[in-house]
Chain A
Amino acid sequence: MLIQTLVNGISLGSAYALTALGFAIIYRTLGIFHFAHGSVYAFSAHVAYSLITLVKMPLIPSVLLTMLAGGILGMIINFLIYEPLKRHASSGQVYMIASMGASIVLQNLIATAWGAITKVLVLPNLETSLYNIHHIGSAVITMAQLLVVIVTVVALATIALFSKSMIGLSIIALGNDSEVAENLGMKVKAIRYITLAVGSALAALSAVLVSIDLRAVDSAMGVPIMLMTIIAVIVGGTANFGAAIAGGYLIGLIKNFGIWAISAEWDNTLLFIMLVLVIMFKPAGLFGRKISKLGR
């Protein structure tokens, strides 16, 4: 029971960690409260559905293409919304409202393009192996769940390596002080596009993994994940990327243990109580100042 809850929590937390890291990269680097992140997630899930179920493309190219599509959508959002606002030195609130608007428009465009009906992501060739059940002690885990955990760890390790690269360091520098970064001759505009692309690609990766695991894809699926992402980032902390990842895993575990200890009716309430407590007593987030290996 305890192990099963732990397994479930880590699997769910992995998905949250990916979206939270994507959100944190965008938020910390550009200072944008990127509400459209959830819609990028939903869009990516639909792309994955089209590639895997309709086009019947193999899994790995589907995942990579979905990440590419998510990244491109992130750049389009930057081009259409954030860059014009940047040129006019708009305030953070304006960015946030514009991002909310973009999120609503995107959600409706997804419903228009793919239909609002819940779609089932079916893996024609891999179904048997991906949905096989494995035992960890008394707990069970499906291969698809395991895939979420493993791919997330690989992705997080890749991002950690990426953060040491020139582009990664540029992203961190831009987040630390955009004016200094610009004065040092960095191509800040290009870095802004790359930031949106990387952050969105992480949301896309989370979307495709979760969709394979849970099979259901619908146009409104970005809303709950966005809520959890925001809670994860605020609870974890925004001072560095590692804190957001830790926040994601924490939310996944609390959600699962909360349901076990109290009731499924109270899982979101529990998270919001924690959110309020963190904002009141640890406004920098639980891991805001402790975890600093990734990012600042």
Chain B
Amino acid sequence: MTDTTRAHPWMANSAPGAIQAMLDEIGAASVADVFEQIPQDHFRTTPLDLPPTLSSEIELKRDLVSKLKKNSDCETNLSFLGAGVWQHHVPAIVDEIVGRTEFATNVWGSYQSDHGRNQAWFEFSSQLGALLNLDVVQLPVYSWGCAIGHAMRMAQRITGRSKVIVSQLSDPERLSVIRTYCQPSAMESHIEVVMVAVDPTTGRIDINDMKSKLDGDVAAVYVENPAYLGTIETEAAEIARLARAAGAETIVGVDPVSLGVMTAPGDYGADIVTGPVQPLGVHMQCGGGVGGFIASRDEEKYVLEYNGFLVSIVETLEPGQVGFGLACPHQNSYGSREHGKDWTGNSTYLWAIAGAVYMSLLGPEGFRELGNLIVSRARYAAKCLSEVPGVKIVWPDTTFKEFVVNFDDTGKTVAEVNDLLRARGIFGGKDISGEDNALGQSALYCVTEVHTAADIRTLCATLKEVLS
């Protein structure tokens, strides 16, 4: 039951007499008086129908925890799910810092009062720039797919062209977002998404097919490295060279945790680089941990097309001191409304702080060790799985942390296999059999630093058991 006799712990002026004291000062006779602007026939007629109030912290906690405990999680189970959200280790210090109420605050934060936050933002961009070998990194947008969408629209504005080339084997989740950003074909400013074929023997972009599609209308080629299905795009430099020769921009998508062992995209000709921020110290949170970065060289043609917050280091009035603030603020939608570059608003900036702490903890050697550990264990998992009767690895030895496992010869669907695994405490890879990929009954498995060799053996032994 609702308790109307006691003040609410979250509302100071719910204490007895507080409202009346303010009404007396205002000179209003009643609460209704201060709502005088609203015509009487605008007030709702249907009463609110909400579940019972949980007045005490004890009741609230019990409700939340008892509901959440109906979930089954990837800490208790052994999970091989990835594809846009990946299970990585989150250092405890990252949790401590993003949990600080100064950062996890209700306020949006002004630059004068929140200097430390501004510096943490700049340090996110600076460290990510060091991994990418690029000079400009924007604070993250909502997600990787959104980052790609914005990057394609940047390329459209830069080149005045309206086609983008993407891999035929793109992540359907990201692709759906990309298509939304590129608008339906009935719109005048529509961007046509052109699919480029993939070499079926390697999973990589078919360069000849790309060449045939690189006409004078192409604004950008988008290439992921590693790609959605885990493959490493060894010809990325050649793709970028061809795109440049055709007057198109090269947009690259990278997994930041691969960059201790994989070449920085700034070094193979990428013009605009996007990627997910969730691997950099953010828990999966049922997909609520995603965010996407956008980066480029420090050239005006790119800088003047960013949609969001660019944090620049600058001098202060005190000689020798530095501070931080927003560069080019007038080009975003706050400054220019419908004439701004796309739009911005609340985004995922807390994850910029998570990323800053994460990257500072790892350092160059940490990233190298991490990348090496992931690729080693993922290849090991692929190798062990290939020894399970009926199980095939579609593109062995060309992947980073994800890889395609085919079950066609087992006589079972991925859904059936995953049901059997789940009953034994294992979440199998993402079922990609319904996707437009001609890969039959296949699943996308993800192996990271959290999976030990013993975990991998458990997976393989369990698979053997359920498939026999």
Q: Do these two chains really belong together in a complex?
A: no
Interface residues of A (CB under 8 A from B): none
